[in-house]
Amino acid sequence: MVDTGDRARDEFFSEAQEIVEGLGRDLLALDEAVRANRIDPDLINDVFRAVHTLKGLAGLFGATRMATLSHELEELLDNLRLGRIDVSPVVLDMLFRSIELYGRILQVEKDGNDQPIPEVDELLRELHRGFGQREQQPLAAEYDLDPGLLAVLTEYEEHRLRTNIQSGLILYRIRVHFQLATIDQALDELKVTAKPFGEIITYLPTGTGADADSIELDILMASRSSVEELRRALSETGAEVEEIPRRAGTGGGGGGGGDTGAFEGGGLSSRPAMAPAGPISPRSSDSGSLSAPPDSATGARKKRGELSSIRSVAQTVRVDINKLDRLMNTVGELALVRSSLGAIVERLRATPAEREMSLELHRLQRTFERHLAAIQQGILEVRMVPLGQVFDKLARVVRQISRDADKIVNLVITGAETEVDKLIVEELSDPLMHMMRNAIDHGIETRAEREAVGKPAVGTIALNAFQKGNHVVIEIEDDGRGIDATRLLDVALRRGLITQDEARTTSYREALTLIFLPGVSTKSDVSEISGRGVGMDVVKTNIGRLGGVIDVNSEVGIGTKMTVTLPITLAIISALIVRVADRLFAIPLANVQEAVGLDEHTVKRLDGREMITLRNQTLQLCYLTRLFGLDEEEELSARLAGLLGGTRSLGGMRAGITGSRKLDRSSLGLSPGSKRKYIVVTAVGAKRLGLVVSALIGQQDVVIKTFGPSLASVRGFAGATELGDQRIALVIDAPALIFEVLSGSDRARPEPRGVHG
Amino acid sequence: MAADLAKRRARGGVIKRNVHAQSGPRREYLAFLLAGETYAAPVKEIREIVKPPPLTPVPRAPDSTMGIVSVRGQLVTVIDLRRRLRLAESQASRRTRILLVEAPWGEQLGLYVDEVQQVYRLSDAEVEPAATALGGDVASYIAGIARPMQQVSTEGGGGEQPPVIVLLDLQAILAS
C-alpha cells in the first residue's frame, strides 16, 4: 500500500546511501594511496563520478542541500582530477567530512524535518572559498609529440600526460587494429591487459590503413616497463609497440600525421591522428631497471562509462529488510502448517483403512518439508551481508579519531567478507564504533609513551572477523597499554560493586569483566586509569540483545582484545522449550550448556542465594517461577478461565517440535512422567546460572519476534516465538538474566548498589 | 475469526440510521462494553476486531498489559482497557474481543473489551465535551459524553439503549 512516490523515495534513499558508502570506501583507499604516495587517477575519477551521481539523484528528488553540497564537491574533485590542486590532507579531510554530512543530510531528509545542519553550510563556505589553484606549466616539449595530438587532448588527458612525464615514465605509442563490430570489447580487453604496465592516456583513430570494417588506433601510453615487456604483454592483441623518443627532433616517416578526416562509426569522436613515432630509442635496454611496481591506471575509463548503455551492470535487486521479515514470517506460518500436517499424518496412520493415503500424504509432507527448508535457507541467505559494510565505517572512524587524538594508528582488517544478517550488521555499528574509539582513546598510548617503552610509534588495531560454526566472531585487538585489572578491582570495591571477599577471590580474567559493570563506567577515574569502561555496559547490553556475548582479554603493556561472538542470523534460532509453572518459554540453545534434573535436597542457601554443586563447581540457581512471579495454582485457575495459552496441548506441542538436531535425551534430562524440576545451565562467557524450570519440553527451531515498543521496558526477554496453534512462548534473554541475577539486582541488598540502570 | 468492520456493516442493522436528517457532519463510533458500561471510540481509529487468540502474559510487563497475542503471525501487545480506566475486571466470556488500533508511534496494539456492541453515527450536537463534566486522572482519556438522540433498536430486539456513552480518546490512552 505504499504509493509510488514513497517507493521512489525509498529507492532514492537506499541508492544514495549505497553511493555514499561506496564513496567512503573510495576515500579510504585514496587516503591510503596518498600516504603511500601512489595515487591512482581512477580512484579520483570514481569519487568524482559518485558525487556526480549523487548530485543528479539529489536534483531528481529535490534534496537541495545534497545537490548544493554535491555541486561544490564536484567542482573540487574536478580540480583534483585535472591536477589543478593537490590531494592534500586538508582536501581529504573535507572529503571525509562531506561523507559524514551526506549521512546526516540523508537522515534529516528521511525524517522529513527541515532542521538546518550548520556543518553543511560551513563546509559549503569552505568549499566555495576554494583552494589556490596551481599554475599549469606548458606541457613539456621534451617528447617528440605531434602538436596536432597535443591540441586535441582533453584537459584531463593533458594533466595525466604531464603527471606521467613528470614522474619519469616512458611514453609509448601502441598501434592496434580492431574490427568495428567488436571494438568496444577489444578495447576493454586491451585496457585490462595494459593496466598493470601503466596508464593509457588517450587513443585516437589513425584514419589510415583501415578498411571499411576495421579501424586502426594509436594509443598513447605511459609506462615504466621496457618496450620488450610491453610487446610481450600485448603480443596477443596484435599491437605494435613503439617508444616515443625524447627530443629526437621532428618525427621521421609520414603515415597520416596530419590526417584528420571525420571517422564514422565505432563511437569515437573524429580527431586528427597521432603522429607516428620516430626510431626506437636505445633507452629501452636500460629501462629494465626501472620496471619497479607498475603504475596502475587507465585514465580512459570515464569515456567508456559515457558510452555504456543505461542497463545496470549488477544483477542485483535492493530489498527492504522488512519485506524479508514478512516473508520469513510467512515461512514461519508455513512451518506451523507443516507441523499440523504431520499430526494429521500420524492420526491417519493409526487408521488401518487409510493406510495407503497416509503413506502418500506422508511423502507429500516430506517434499513440502524439504522445499520449506530450502525457502527458509534462501531467505536467510538473502539477508546476509558482508561485515565489510560496517568495517568500512569503522575505518573512517579510526581515521577521524586517530587524527583527533593525535595518535597514528594502523588498522588491519581481516575477514571483511564474513557474512552476517543485515539486521545484526546494522545493530553492530554502534557497539563496534564504541570499542574502536576506546581502543584508540584509551588503549593506544601516545607516540612518546610508545617510544619510551620501545614499541613502534604507530599503534596497531586489528579488526578480525571469521565464522565459527553458527556464529561469527569479531575481534578488536590493540597493541596499547592494556587494562590494569588491579585498579579495576580497586574501583569496583570502592564503589561497592563487589565485596572484600569477592575482590580477594576474583581471578584476573573475572576482574577484567568488571569493565562491563555500569557502575564502573560512570567513574571517570577508572576510564583514565584503565582505559575502557566508558559505556562498555551499554556495548555489552547491545551485543547481548543481538544474542551475542563479549569477552575481554588484556595484558598490561601488551594490549587488549575484545572478542564479540554473535549468531549469524537473528531470524531463526534453535531453542530449548521449557515449561515454567504452566507457561512455555524458549531458551536459545546458544546460551544453554546442559540441562539436569534438580535434586532439591542438594540445594544450599547462602546469603539468600540458592546454590548447588554441579561437577565440583558451584552453580547459582534462579527459580524462574519466582523471578517471573508465577504461581502454579494461580496459573491453573487462570487457564481454566480460558485466558491463557497454557499447557492445553503439551502433547501437540511435542509433535510440533521439529528441530533437526535434537539434543539427546540424557543431556536434556528428559524423563517423561517425572515431577522433578530441572535446571537449565545457561552461560555467558565464564558466568553460569542455573535456571530452574518445571519441565523440559524439547528443542525447536524458532523464529524470534521482538516485542513492540510498548514492551521495550520489559527486561529478561529477547522476544517471543510462535509454537503453533497461535500459542506463543516468550524467549528468555539468558545473558540479561545472568547479568541481572548474578549482579544481585534481583534481590534487595543491604547496601544500595545501583548496578542496574 | 477476524470479523472486520466492513463486514459487520454489510450485515446491516448495526448502524444507527438517522431518520430525521440532522445538520452537521456525523462521525462513526464503535460502542463496546467495559465492566458493564458502554464506551465508544471513533471507528476510523479501529483497524479490526478480533476474537481473542490465546493470550500469553508477559511477566514484568506494565500492570495494564494483559499479554501478547498473535494475529496472523504478528505479535500484538494487548492492553486491558478496564485496567487503564480503573474499572472493575470482569470474567472473560465468549463475547470478549480485541480491538486492533495503531498507536501514535506506529505499533499495532490490541485493546481488550468485554463486548463489542454497535456503531453509532453521532453529530457534534450529540456529543458533550467531557472536560467540563469530569474530574480525576482518567478525565484526559475521555473525549466526550454522547447522548444519542435516535433510539432505533437493533440486533435481537434489544430496546434498551445505554442513555450515556463515554467517548474515549484512544490516542491519549495509548500514549499514557
Q: pLDDT tens digit string along A216-275?
A: 778 888 888 888 888 888 877 777 888 877 764 443 333 333 333 333 333 333 344 444
Q: Please state, in angstroms and rounded to a whole number, the distance separating the CA atoms of residues A255 and B94.
A: 99
Cβ contact, residue pair A720, B75, below 8 Å: yes
Q: What integer pLDDT is reported at residue A518 of this predicted model?
A: 65
Residue B2 lies in a domain: no
Is there a contact between A730 and B58 if contact means CB atoms under 8 Å apart? Answer: yes
Nearest CA to B78 out of B93, B49, B106, B56 is that of B56
Kindly state whether residue B18 falls inside one of the protein's structural domains: no
- Among A517, A512, A480, A468, residue whose Cα is nearest residue A495: A517
The shortest C-alpha distance from B132 to chain A (Å) reads 31
Residue A285 has pLDDT above 60, yes or no: no
Q: Give yes or no for A709 touching B (CB within 8 A).
A: yes
In a domain, B126, yes or no: yes
Distance from CA of B2 to the nearest CA of A (A): 14
Contacts 24+ apart (CB under 8 A), A358-365: A365/A338, A365/A341
Cα separation, A573 vs A581, in Å, equals 24
Q: What is the mean pLDDT of residues B8-19?
A: 44
Let me know if residue B20 belongs to a domain: no
Q: pLDDT-derived band of residue B42, with 50, 70 and 90 as boundaries? A: very high
Top mean-pLDDT range of A192-201, A325-334, A339-348, B77-86 = B77-86
Domain membership flag for residue B15: no
Of residues B61, B70, B105, nearest to A726 (C-beta): B70
ipTM of the prediction greater than 0.85, yes or no: no
**For residue B122, is it within any domain?**
yes
- What's the pLDDT tens digit per position in A442-452? 888 888 888 89
Of A658, A657, A569, nearest in space to A377 by CA: A569
The average pLDDT across A143-161 equals 73
Report chain B residues whose CB lies below 8 A from the CB of A646: 54
Amino acid making up residue B84: R
What class has domain A385-523+533-567? alpha beta
Homologous superfamily of A139-243: ACT domain (3.30.70.260)
* pLDDT of the residue at A577: 92
Q: Residue A330 is placed in which grid cell?
A: 510467512
User: Do A216 and A176 meet the contact criterion of CB atoms below 8 Å apart?
Assistant: yes
* Closest chain A C-alpha to B147 CA, distance in angstroms: 34
pLDDT score, position A4: 54
Domain count of chain B? 1
Which CATH superfamily does the domain covering A572-632+674-743 fall into? CheA-289, Domain 4 (2.40.50.180)
Nearest to B53 among A710, A714, A726 (CB): A726
Mutate which: B51, B58, B90, B108, vs A, most A CBs within 10 A: B58
> What domain range is B46 assigned to?
27-147+164-175
CA distance A730 to chain B (A): 8
Q: Could you write out the DSSP letters of every residue in A494-518?
A: HTTSS-HHHHHH--HHHHHGGGGSH
Distances, alpha carbon A56 to alpha carbons A46, A51, A571, in Å = 15, 9, 37
Strands (E), chain B: 2-3, 26-34, 37-42, 46-50, 65-71, 74-80, 97-102, 108-113, 115-123, 127-129, 142-146, 165-168
Instruction: Select, from the ranges A427-431, A525-529, B50-54, B110-114, the one with the highest average predicted confidence (pLDDT).
Output: B110-114
Query: Would you state the pLDDT for residue A126?
Result: 81
Q: Which of A142-146, A480-484, A707-711, B95-99 has the lowest mean pLDDT?
A: A142-146
Q: What is the pLDDT of residues A5-38, one digit of tens each?
A: 677 777 788 888 888 888 888 888 888 888 877 7
- What CA–CA distance (Å, rounded) separates A238 from A241? 9
Q: Which residues of B touch A710 (CB under 8 A)?
A: 65, 77, 79, 103, 107, 109
Q: What is the pLDDT of residues A709-737, one digit of tens each?
A: 888 888 889 889 888 666 789 999 888 88
The CATH code belonging to domain A4-129 is 1.20.120.160
B57 touches chain A (CB under 8 A): yes
Per-residue pLDDT at B47: 92
Q: What is the predicted pLDDT for the residue at A333?
A: 75
Alpha carbon of A639: minimum distance to chain B alpha carbons (Å): 10
pLDDT tens-digit series, residues B87-110: 887 777 889 999 999 988 888 899
Q: Is residue B171 part of a domain?
A: yes
A56-67 residues labelled b (16+ CB within 10 A) or e (exposed): ebbeebebebbb
Q: Say yes or no for a CB contact (<8 Å) between A711 and B61.
A: yes
Q: Which of A353-357, A449-453, A478-482, A578-582 is least confident? A: A353-357
| Euclidean distance between CA atoms A494 and A498, whole angstroms | 8
Q: How many CB pairs under 8 A join A and B?
A: 86
- Grid cell 560551513 is found at A122
Q: What is the DSSP letter of B154?
A: B
B10, part of any domain: no
Nearest Cβ partner for B68 among A630, A716, A728: A728
Per-domain residue ranges of chain A? 4-129, 139-243, 321-383, 385-523+533-567, 572-632+674-743
Q: What is the mean pLDDT of chain A?
A: 74
| Residue in B with minimal Cα distance to A710 | B77
Q: What is the domain-level CATH number for residue B45?
A: 2.40.50.180
The average pLDDT across A500-518 equals 76
In the predicted model, is pLDDT for residue B113 greater than 90? yes
**Residue A550 pLDDT greater than 50, yes or no:** yes
A71 Ramachandran zone, left/alpha/beta (phi>0; psi -120 to 50): alpha
Cross-chain residue pair B107–A709, CB shorter than 8 Å: yes
CA distance A373 to chain B (A): 18
The residue in chain B having the minimum alpha-carbon distance to the alpha carbon of residue A706 is B75
Chain B CB within 8 Å of residue A713 CB: yes
pLDDT tens across A639-674, in order?
444 444 433 333 333 333 333 333 333 334 334 444
pLDDT at site B97: 93
Q: What is the pLDDT of residue B133?
A: 55
Task: Give kind and range of the element (H or E) at residue A173.
Answer: strand A170-179
Average model confidence (pLDDT) across chain B: 78
State the best of A648, A723, A728, A732 to mutate against chain B, taking most chain B CBs within 10 Å. A728
Of A109-113, A360-364, B66-70, which range is least confident? A109-113
